[in-house]
Amino acid sequence: MSSSTTNVLSRQPLVQVLRNITDPRDRRGVRHSLFTVLSLAVTGVLAGCRNLIAIWEHATDLTGADLEALGLEEGQALPSESTIRQVLQDLDHATGAVLTQQRVADRSNQRSRP
């Protein structure tokens, strides 16, 4: 049995994977959940969007039911293109920090082995 996280993640519904991602943002001032922003981004990419403006434009074309399924409450405004951009950048920086910490820990563990 493989220990690859890809195999474990591939058995989970995408919605569950997105909901389990830790939000790196400060809770103050957060208007849109990380799940909602990521869902809009993934939906846009799956629809063929190649940039953040196209993702936002795609989101503006979604029905109310679609938006609700992606985490927006009825009447809640869409996140702006700049919000989507900032959230994805914050997530990218947080992921990079975690990966760097893991690499340092792995190297320390390798050095301490006889």
Write down the pTM of the prediction.
0.75
Question: Residues with Cβ < 8 Å from 45, sequence gap 6 or more?
Answer: 55
Residues of the domain holding 96 = 11-20+30-112
Which among 41, 22, 45 has a CA at the least distance from the CA of 97? 22
The structural domain count of the chain equals 1
69 domain-assigned: yes
92 domain-assigned: yes
pLDDT in tens, the chain (114 residues): 455 555 655 677 888 888 888 888 888 888 899 999 999 999 999 999 999 999 999 999 999 999 999 999 988 999 999 999 999 998 888 776 666 766 666 667 666 665
Question: Residues with Cβ < 8 Å from 58, sequence gap 6 or more?
Answer: 43, 44, 47, 49
